[in-house]
Structure 1
Amino acid sequence: MADDALLRRIDRLESRHAIAELISVYGIACDDHDMPRLMGLFTPDAEFDTKSGLMHAENPADIEQMFIEAFKIRGPAFHWSHDHIVEFDEADADRATGTVLSHAETTPHGEPSLAAMRYEDEYKRINGRWLFRKRTINFLYYVPAKDYLTALNKRERVTVAGNRLPADYPENLGPWQEFDAKHKAD
């Protein structure tokens, strides 16, 4: 039994590292507009969406088209990931979920822009390789760089085609709302 426990721990350490690399490769593939590499990161039953519904794809073909349309309007970009939390499925060693904190510098329609995101992921290991089963992107902000200094003070801090939309978080999160109700009511 001790050997099984040790093997499981080693598998999880190796899996955690492989998932971290998956996330890094995703950012590089997005920055390079490398569609074959990007699409190779998703399972055959993959989904991709945003809490706001701005981006939604229910299968790899739709995911590919979604990224093609996004890359058509976007010039140079740089995505980087920060903290990453992985939780493994106790019943299935080939499944995990994760949260990734991330930033991006992008240029939609030639306008330098800054974004902060929180990805909620589902991972699946197929033939020994970890892939994205589902990615949900949540925007804290996505604004033109020139507006960054004042954008964080507003609820509408996601800019799409010149329109300002409410951010996906944190104001709608339960803990945020509970804190405000308890400590900002006065």
Structure 2
Amino acid sequence: PVTAHDLVPPAIAYQKWVAQGLDEVVRLTGRLRAAVDRGDLAAARTAWLPAHLQYERLGAAYDAFGDADGRINGTDAGLPGGVRDPAFTGFHRIEYGLWHGATASTLRAPAAALAGAVTALREEWAQARMDPAQLGLRAHEILENTVQFELTARTDYGSGSNLATARANLDGTRAVLARLRPLLSTRYPGLPVLDRRLGRAE
């Protein structure tokens, strides 16, 4: 059996990995915002994908991100105004605009809001504490969400990047398993099979 005490070191290691990942999200989102601000939408489309994929790699932390995830990576599902609803924000709002003919002037506010949201999340994460017992569950939920939303293209707003996002989600799953591996290697005989299946999924 694994105790709660056993899970504390991998949870702390994972939190540090997420913190480093958020630094990169902030940097890449800043590049996206800068391209929008100067009106270079071709550069903005190029900058959008790496910023979004970097955020998606942190998938195991979504539950700990709380409402911030909705502002950063939410969809228009359930919104009365759909893609034109003011509550539709974040990466997918910008994606929709970039691939549906929006002007730079209409995307400056969403890009600024996204940059502000990821910066605020980075600051909040420094004070956050994940429940160590939830770490393994997050690995499962990343792939469950991948099947439900990415492989069905339900979250495609024009970029056609769902397969790339699915790969980023696999990276996120591997990051969780890497922190849990010292505990799993002596307790879970199916770990080599899991590794092979994840490899085939790539």
Q: Which has the higher helix share?
A: 2
User: Structure 1 length normalisation: TM-score?
Assistant: 0.33
